[in-house]
Amino acid sequence: MVKSLITTDDISIESILYKAANIEHYGSSPSLSGKILTNLFYEPSTRTSSSFAAAMLRLGGQVISINDVNYSSVSKGENLEDTIRTMSSYSDAIVLRSKESGHAAKAAAVSDVPVINAGDGNGEHPTQTLLDLYTIWKHFGRIDDLRITFVGDIENGRTIHSLDKATPNCVKNYRDTFSTDDWPESDVYYLTRVQRERGSIGTYQLTAEHVRAMPDQSIILHPFPRNEELPTWFDTDPRAKYFEQMKNGLFVRMAILESVIKL
Amino acid sequence: MVKSLITTDDISIESILYKAANIEHYGSSPSLSGKILTNLFYEPSTRTSSSFAAAMLRLGGQVISINDVNYSSVSKGENLEDTIRTMSSYSDAIVLRSKESGHAAKAAAVSDVPVINAGDGNGEHPTQTLLDLYTIWKHFGRIDDLRITFVGDIENGRTIHSLDKATPNCVKNYRDTFSTDDWPESDVYYLTRVQRERGSIGTYQLTAEHVRAMPDQSIILHPFPRNEELPTWFDTDPRAKYFEQMKNGLFVRMAILESVIKL
Amino acid sequence: MVKSLITTDDISIESILYKAANIEHYGSSPSLSGKILTNLFYEPSTRTSSSFAAAMLRLGGQVISINDVNYSSVSKGENLEDTIRTMSSYSDAIVLRSKESGHAAKAAAVSDVPVINAGDGNGEHPTQTLLDLYTIWKHFGRIDDLRITFVGDIENGRTIHSLDKATPNCVKNYRDTFSTDDWPESDVYYLTRVQRERGSIGTYQLTAEHVRAMPDQSIILHPFPRNEELPTWFDTDPRAKYFEQMKNGLFVRMAILESVIKL
CATH superfamily of the A8-124+247-260 domain? Aspartate/ornithine carbamoyltransferase (3.40.50.1370)
Per-residue confidence (pLDDT) for residue C39, from 0 to 100: 97
- Are B156 and B198 in contact by the 8 Å Cβ rule? The answer is yes
Tell me the pLDDT band of A1, cut-offs 50, 70 and 90.
low
Does the pLDDT value for residue A73 go beyond 60?
Answer: no
Q: Which residue of B35, B37, B50 is the best one to mutate when testing the A interface, meaning the one whose CB has the most A CBs within 10 A?
A: B50
Around Cβ B109, how many Cβ atoms within 10 Å?
Answer: 12
Structure-model confidence comparison of residues B180 and B92, the more confident one: B92
- Catalytic residues of A, by residue number, are 47-48, 76, 97, 125
- Are B49 and B31 in contact by the 8 Å Cβ rule? The answer is no
Does the pLDDT value for residue C47 go beyond 80?
Answer: yes
Assess whether B48 carries a catalytic annotation. yes
Does the pLDDT value for residue C69 go beyond 90?
Answer: no
Q: How far is C85 from chain A (nearest CA, A)?
A: 8
The pair phi, psi for residue B261, each rounded to 5°, is: -80, 130
Per-residue confidence (pLDDT) for residue A33, from 0 to 100: 97
User: CB distance from B38 to chain C under 8 Å?
Assistant: yes
Per-residue confidence (pLDDT) for residue A258, from 0 to 100: 97
Chain B neighbours (≥3 Cβ pairs under 8 A) are A, C
Contact: B64, C53; criterion CB under 8 Å: yes
Under 8 Å CB-to-CB from B11, ≥6 apart: which residues?
B5, B126, B130, B256, B259, B260
Tell me, letter by letter, the H, E, C secondary structure of A151-220: ECCCCCCHHHHHHHHCCCCCEEEEECCCCHHHCCCCCEEEECCCCHHHCCCCCCCCCHHHHHCCCCCCEE
Residues B192-214 have a mean pLDDT of: 81
Structure-model confidence comparison of residues B1 and A160, the more confident one: A160
- Are A99 and A198 in contact by the 8 Å Cβ rule? The answer is no
Tell me the pLDDT band of C236, cut-offs 50, 70 and 90.
very high
Quote the DSSP letter at residue C44. -
Give the CA-trace dihedral at C47, C52, C53, C58, to 10 degrees. 130
Give the integer Cα–Cα distance in Å for C175 and C151. 5
Fill in the amino acid letter for C241: K
Closest among C97, C5, C122 to C46, alpha carbons compared? C97
Q: How far is A227 from chain B (nearest CA, A)?
A: 29
Give the CA-trace dihedral at C56, C58, C62, C63, to 10 degrees. 50
- Catalytic annotation, pick one of C76, C203, C212, C236: C76
Per-residue confidence (pLDDT) for residue B253, from 0 to 100: 98
Instruction: Identify which of A39-43, A122-126, B76-80, B247-251 has the greatest average pLDDT.
Output: B247-251
Q: Out of B34, B81, B86, name the one closest to residue C47 (CB).
A: B86
Q: How far is B51 from chain C (nearest CA, A)?
A: 19
**Is there a common fold for B8-124+247-260 and B127-246?**
yes
Per-residue confidence (pLDDT) for residue C197, from 0 to 100: 65
Model confidence over B129-181: pLDDT tens digits?
Answer: 999 999 999 999 999 999 999 998 888 788 998 999 999 999 999 998 777 77
Per-residue confidence (pLDDT) for residue A61, from 0 to 100: 98
Which of these ranges, A100-114, A142-156, B111-125, C185-199, has the smallest mean pLDDT? C185-199
Q: Return the H-helix or E-strand segment holding B94.
A: strand B93-98
Q: Residue B114, preceding bond cis, omega within 30 degrees?
A: no
Give the integer Cα–Cα distance in Å for C61 and A111. 31
Q: B71: nearest CA in chain C?
A: C44
Contact: A44, C78; criterion CB under 8 Å: no
Assess whether B196 carries a catalytic annotation. no
Per-residue confidence (pLDDT) for residue B193, from 0 to 100: 86
Contact: C89, A246; criterion CB under 8 Å: yes
Pairing of strands A219-221, A171-175: unpaired
- Catalytic annotation, pick one of B46, B47, B99, B142: B47
Per-residue confidence (pLDDT) for residue B137, from 0 to 100: 98
Q: Would you kindly state where each structural domain of chain B is located, as residue ranges? A: 8-124+247-260, 127-246
Per-residue confidence (pLDDT) for residue C78, from 0 to 100: 83
Instruction: Residue B69: list chain C partners with CB under 8 A.
Output: 46
Distances A58 to A53, A138, A254, B50, C67 between C-alpha atoms, Å: 9, 22, 8, 21, 21
Model confidence over A2-31: pLDDT tens digits?
Answer: 799 999 999 999 999 999 999 999 999 999
Tell me the pLDDT band of B50, cut-offs 50, 70 and 90.
very high
Q: What is the mean pLDDT of chain A?
A: 92
Residues B57-68 have a mean pLDDT of: 94
Which of these ranges, A75-79, B95-99, B220-224, has the smallest mean pLDDT? A75-79
Does the pLDDT value for residue A34 go beyond 80?
Answer: yes
Tell me the pLDDT band of B54, cut-offs 50, 70 and 90.
very high
Fill in the amino acid letter for A79: N
Per-residue confidence (pLDDT) for residue C127, from 0 to 100: 97
Assess whether B147 carries a catalytic annotation. no
User: CB distance from B33 to chain C under 8 Å?
Assistant: no
Q: In angstroms, what is the C-alpha Rg of chain A?
A: 19
- Are B260 and B142 in contact by the 8 Å Cβ rule? The answer is no
* Domain B127-246, architecture per CATH: 3-Layer(aba) Sandwich (3.40)
Does the pLDDT value for residue B228 go beyond 90?
Answer: no
Tell me the pLDDT band of B72, cut-offs 50, 70 and 90.
low
Under 8 Å CB-to-CB from C12, ≥6 apart: which residues?
none
Q: Provide the 3-class DSSP secondary structure of residue B118.
A: strand
- Are C172 and C150 in contact by the 8 Å Cβ rule? The answer is yes
Give the integer Cα–Cα distance in Å for B204 and B178. 7
Which B positions 86-125 lie with beta carbon below 8 A of chain C? 86-87, 89-91
Under 8 Å CB-to-CB from C169, ≥6 apart: which residues?
C144, C145
Per-residue confidence (pLDDT) for residue A78, from 0 to 100: 83
Give the integer Cα–Cα distance in Å for B227 and B250. 23
Per-residue confidence (pLDDT) for residue B197, from 0 to 100: 65
Contact: B36, C45; criterion CB under 8 Å: no
Per-residue confidence (pLDDT) for residue B202, from 0 to 100: 64
Closest among B214, B127, B124 to B160, alpha carbons compared? B124
Helix axes A242-260, C80-90, angle to 10 degrees: 40
Tell me, letter by letter, the H, E, C secondary structure of chain A: CCCCECCHHHCCHHHHHHHHHHHHHHCCCCCCCCCEEEEEECCCCHHHHHHHHHHHHHCCCEEEEECCHHHCCCCCCCCHHHHHHHHHHHCCEEEEEECCCCHHHHHHHHCCCCEEEEEECCCCCHHHHHHHHHHHHHHHCCCCCCEEEEECCCCCCHHHHHHHHCCCCCEEEEECCCCHHHCCCCCEEEECCCCHHHCCCCCCCCCHHHHHCCCCCCEEECCCCCCCCCCHHHHHCCCECHHHHHHHHHHHHHHHHHHHCCC
Assess whether B239 carries a catalytic annotation. no
Beta-sheet strand order (sheet of A36-41): A62-66, A36-41, A93-98, A115-120
Tell me the pLDDT band of A69, cut-offs 50, 70 and 90.
confident
Q: Residue C44, preceding bond cis, omega within 30 degrees?
A: no
Fill in the amino acid letter for C48: T
Q: How far is A40 from chain C (nearest CA, A)?
A: 14
Model confidence over A237-259: pLDDT tens digits?
Answer: 999 999 999 999 999 999 999 99
Contact: C225, B74; criterion CB under 8 Å: yes
Per-residue confidence (pLDDT) for residue A202, from 0 to 100: 64
Give the integer Cα–Cα distance in Å for B82 and C231. 12
User: CB distance from C85 to chain A under 8 Å?
Assistant: yes
Which of these ranges, A214-228, B87-101, C187-201, has the smallest mean pLDDT? C187-201
Give the integer Cα–Cα distance in Å for B128 and B235. 21
Give the integer Cα–Cα distance in Å for A134 and B10. 56
Quote the DSSP letter at residue B182. G
Residues C175-183 have a mean pLDDT of: 79
Using alpha carbons only, give the angle B45, B119, B165 rounded to the nearest 5 degrees: 140
Closest among B95, B61, B66, B114 to C47, alpha carbons compared? B66
Q: Residue A225, preceding bond cis, omega within 30 degrees?
A: yes
Count of alpha carbons within 13 Å of A2, Cβ hemisphere only? 18
Model confidence over A131-165: pLDDT tens digits?
Answer: 999 999 999 999 999 999 999 888 888 899 899 99
Which of these ranges, A105-119, A217-231, B7-21, B149-163, has the smallest mean pLDDT? B149-163
Widest Cα–Cα separation across chain B: 56
Structure-model confidence comparison of residues B94 and C67, the more confident one: B94
Pairing of strands B62-66, B115-120: unpaired
Give the integer Cα–Cα distance in Å for B229 and B205. 4
Q: What is the mean pLDDT of chain B?
A: 92
Per-residue confidence (pLDDT) for residue C202, from 0 to 100: 64
Around Cβ B142, how many Cβ atoms within 10 Å?
Answer: 11
Residues B20-40 have a mean pLDDT of: 97
Tell me the pLDDT band of C219, cut-offs 50, 70 and 90.
very high
Give the integer Cα–Cα distance in Å for B141 and A172. 66
Q: Out of C64, C73, C81, name the one closest to residue A54 (CB).
A: C64
- Are C144 and C166 in contact by the 8 Å Cβ rule? The answer is no
Per-residue confidence (pLDDT) for residue B251, from 0 to 100: 98
Per-residue confidence (pLDDT) for residue C135, from 0 to 100: 98
Which of these ranges, B97-111, B139-153, C71-85, has the smallest mean pLDDT? C71-85
Per-residue confidence (pLDDT) for residue C193, from 0 to 100: 86
Which of these ranges, A83-92, C75-84, C92-101, has the smallest mean pLDDT? C75-84
Burial of C233 (0-12, 13-18, 19+ CB in 10 A): exposed
First to last CA, chain B: 14
Under 8 Å CB-to-CB from C233, ≥6 apart: which residues?
none
Quote the DSSP letter at residue C145. S
Give the integer Cα–Cα distance in Å for A227 and A247. 19
Assess whether B25 carries a catalytic annotation. no
Instruction: Residue A90: list chain B partners with CB under 8 A.
Output: 50-51, 53-54, 250
Q: Return the H-helix or E-strand segment holding B246.
A: helix B242-260
Percent of chain A at pLDDT > 90 equals 78
User: CB distance from B243 to chain A under 8 Å?
Assistant: yes
User: CB distance from C227 to chain B under 8 Å?
Assistant: yes
Tell me the pLDDT band of C201, cut-offs 50, 70 and 90.
low
- Are B66 and C51 in contact by the 8 Å Cβ rule? The answer is no
